[in-house]
Amino acid sequence: MADGTSGRTSPVFNPATGLQTADVDLASVADVDRAVASAKAAAEGWRATSLSRRSAVMFGFRQLLHDATDELAKIITAEHGKVLIDSAAEIGRGLENVEYACGVPELLKGGFSEQASTGVDVYSIRQPLGVVAGITPFNFPAMVPLWMCANAIACGNAFILKPSEKDPSASLFLAELWQKAGLPDGVFTVLQGDKVAVDRLLEHPDVKAISFVGSTPIAKSIYETATKNGKRVQALGGAKNHMLVLPDADLGLAADAAVSAAYGAAGERCMAISVAVAVGDIADDLVDAIAQRIPKLKVGDGAEPGTDMGPLITAQHRDKVAGYIAAGVESGAKVVVDGRDGTVHGAFSPSGGFFVGPTLLDGVTPELSVYTDAIFGPVLAVVRVGTYDEAIALINANPFANGTAIFTRDGGAARQFQFDVEVGMVGINVPIPTPVAYYSFGGWKNSLFGDTHMYGPEGVAFYTRGKVVTSRWPDPATSKIDLGFPTTR
Ligand code: NAD
């Protein structure tokens, strides 16, 4: 561990109290260069380490992370604000990625074709890229780094993590666990920093690939800059996830799902539901059912047992979310539940934290900013449409396309939705369809820039490059010159 040399720092808060708890150093260009040099040196030895030994380190890390879940969950909650069980759940989903990467000997098995031509064998292998970097958002300070680093490291790369400066401690905890698991120094490096560090990583010639997760404008600009600099890039952006409720849906199930997916982690999830599209005459009942459930949610400090929803990440973000609610109301949306009103959720009003309570807006239309923008807060907008076709047209016209869900009892309608909808991850009666670790995660359109989705098989493909070997062992006595282009025979 080394202190930063820039002299610049960023404050870290406990969002539930609003109090500053730490300062984090922000890396200078020289700090980045040092981290990359150390990673480059480590990458050589690590790629030469056998698959079984790499796998053993992965299994060791998996056990340490599993055993440290409660400790790490407290660290996450203290800086992010989400409730403890949610912090533990993100670690659990991250662990799935580590478990997948434990199987690296199987994942990197190549193909072999004996006698592809007479006396000629052809085989394919996948090799690591070298030094790769991950730039991650505040909202999953353990899971998103694990989406990236588990596969990157197992595949034989050295991984540099530039976490969010808003909740920097989880990444340092992960670094300690990697070290305890026996990972050689320099194979996993945490570089605390901001735009200065990111810009240097994007231009550094020894960084071969960039994985990014964050907001759409930054994702787009990172994709453009890093590809221009010749790097492989996957850049995941923001979201506006629609939940389509057909008239035949079970209302209780749909309302439970809408409340869970809209307000869990205070809406600060890229797979949160932020729009409920009510089809036909179900709308009044759906809005009532959601509204009835909201007062039962306990809003407060995520570290307190029994809390359902914690605060937002910063005071600025709280004000921004409140501003969207105000703009929605001014533009004609109907406030069914106003999360700016602390009296509805009295538990949180005196604490001084960065709270906005669960908010439900009805009668939202597609031109309102509460519909067009990725708010990233506990605000659920209800859009009423007449038919399934109108609903699909609405969802497919949205520039974000991360996740979506349909609620129905009609299997044929669900299958049609899966066929029609232009979104990368689809749930059928599942509000947050985050794929398991052996599939890959990624949206379409403005929710992902790049060709590969993250983790799973596409993660392994992203962090390796293919090589095909054509080999023969002919009898030198039969050798002759042949200027023709080689053909199979
Ligand atoms: P952000 O875009 O502000 O920051 C993400 C990362 O980029 C951080 O590490 C940050 O330090 C860095 N960064 C910020 N500004 C930068 C700049 N100008 N130049 C270079 N680097 C910069 O995102 P956030 O607020 O930390 O996270 C929330 C966002 O992430 C939301 O938009 C959410 O939808 C998105 N997100 C997407 C997914 C997904 O899988 N698609 C998953 C989680 C979060």
Q: Which residue has the higher pLDDT, 98 or 489?
A: 98
Within 8 A by CB and 6+ apart from 394, the residues are 242, 277, 366, 383, 385
Residue nearest to atom 38 of ligand 1 (CA): 270
pLDDT tens-digit series, residues 112-157: 999 999 999 999 999 999 999 999 999 999 999 999 999 999 999 9
The architecture (CATH level 2) of 9-237+447-469 comes to 3-Layer(aba) Sandwich (3.40)
How far, in Å, from the CA of 220 to the mean position of ligand 1? 11
Asked whether the predicted pLDDT for residue 408 surpasses 70, the reply is yes
Asked whether the predicted pLDDT for residue 344 surpasses 90, the reply is no
pLDDT tens-digit series, residues 290-306: 999 999 999 999 999 99
Q: Which residue has the tokens 């991360």?
A: 402
Domain boundaries, the chain: 9-237+447-469, 241-428
Question: Which atom of ligand 1 lies at the shortest distance from residue 215's CA?
Answer: 32
In this predicted structure, what is the pLDDT of residue 391?
Answer: 98
138, 211, 215, 455: which to mutate for ligand 1, most atoms within 8 A of CB?
215
Distance CA 4, CA 366 (A): 46
In this predicted structure, what is the pLDDT of residue 343?
Answer: 54
pLDDT range class, residue 351, cuts 50, 70, 90: low
86, 139, 212, 318: which to mutate for ligand 1, most atoms within 8 A of CB?
139
Mean of pLDDT values over 344-372: 84
Distance of CA 33 to CAs 198, 199, 222, Å?
12, 12, 19
Residue nearest to atom 21 of ligand 1 (CA): 195
Q: Is 139 in the pocket of ligand 1 (CB under 6 A)?
A: yes
pLDDT tens-digit series, residues 84-100: 999 999 999 999 999 99
Asked whether the predicted pLDDT for residue 348 surpasses 80, the reply is no
Beta strands in 272-376 (DSSP E): 273-279, 334-337, 359-362
Q: Is 241 in the pocket of ligand 1 (CB under 6 A)?
A: no
pLDDT tens-digit series, residues 47-89: 999 999 999 999 999 999 999 999 999 999 999 999 999 999 9
How far, in Å, from the CA of 125 to the mean position of ligand 1? 34
Residue nearest to atom 20 of ligand 1 (CA): 195
pLDDT range class, residue 488, cuts 50, 70, 90: confident
Residue nearest to atom 36 of ligand 1 (CA): 214
pLDDT tens-digit series, residues 425-477: 999 999 999 999 999 999 999 999 999 999 999 999 999 999 999 999 999 99
How much is the mean pLDDT over the chain? 96
How far, in Å, from the CA of 137 to the mean position of ligand 1? 4
Q: Is 437 in the pocket of ligand 1 (CB under 6 A)?
A: no
pLDDT range class, residue 345, cuts 50, 70, 90: low
Within 8 A by CB and 6+ apart from 321, the residues are 312, 356, 375, 376, 377, 378, 379
How far, in Å, from the CA of 226 to the mean position of ligand 1? 16
Asked whether the predicted pLDDT for residue 44 surpasses 70, the reply is yes
Kindly state the percentage of the chain with pLDDT values over 70: 98
How far, in Å, from the CA of 196 to the mean position of ligand 1? 15
The domain made up of 241-428 has a fold known as Aldehyde Dehydrogenase; Chain A, domain 2 (3.40.309)
In this predicted structure, what is the pLDDT of residue 341?
Answer: 74
pLDDT range class, residue 326, cuts 50, 70, 90: very high
Residue nearest to atom 32 of ligand 1 (CA): 215
Mean of pLDDT values over 325-340: 96
pLDDT tens-digit series, residues 259-271: 999 999 999 999 9
Residue nearest to atom 35 of ligand 1 (CA): 214
Q: What angle do CA 11, 16, 17 make, to 5 degrees?
A: 70
Question: Which atom of ligand 1 lies at the shortest distance from residue 447's CA?
Answer: 41
299 and 309 in contact (C-beta within 8 Å)?
yes
Question: Which atom of ligand 1 lies at the shortest distance from residue 218's CA?
Answer: 2
Kindly state the percentage of the chain with pLDDT values over 90: 96
Beta strands in 87-224 (DSSP E): 112-117, 120-128, 131-135, 158-162, 188-190, 207-213
244: phi then psi, degrees, rounded to nearest 5: -95, 125
Asked whether the predicted pLDDT for residue 38 surpasses 60, the reply is yes
pLDDT tens-digit series, residues 161-186: 999 999 999 999 999 999 999 999 99
Within 8 A by CB and 6+ apart from 310, the residues are 15, 16, 77, 80, 81, 82, 83, 265, 266, 299, 300, 301, 302
How far, in Å, from the CA of 340 to the mean position of ligand 1? 25
How far, in Å, from the CA of 237 to the mean position of ligand 1? 7
229, 270, 454: which to mutate for ligand 1, most atoms within 8 A of CB?
270
pLDDT tens-digit series, residues 194-224: 999 999 999 999 999 999 999 999 999 999 9
Residue 270 a catalytic site member: yes
Q: Is 137 in the pocket of ligand 1 (CB under 6 A)?
A: yes
pLDDT tens-digit series, residues 439-453: 999 999 999 999 999
Q: Is 402 in the pocket of ligand 1 (CB under 6 A)?
A: yes
89 and 426 in contact (C-beta within 8 Å)?
no
How far, in Å, from the CA of 136 to the mean position of ligand 1? 6
How far, in Å, from the CA of 485 to the mean position of ligand 1? 50
Q: Is 213 in the pocket of ligand 1 (CB under 6 A)?
A: yes
In this predicted structure, what is the pLDDT of residue 3?
Answer: 87
Prediction pTM value:
0.97
152: phi then psi, degrees, rounded to nearest 5: -60, -45
Q: Is 376 in the pocket of ligand 1 (CB under 6 A)?
A: yes
Identified catalytic residue from 102, 149, 155, 270:
270
Question: Which atom of ligand 1 lies at the shortest distance from residue 163's CA?
Answer: 9
Within 8 A by CB and 6+ apart from 388, the residues are 244, 246, 279, 413, 416, 417
Q: Is 443 in the pocket of ligand 1 (CB under 6 A)?
A: yes
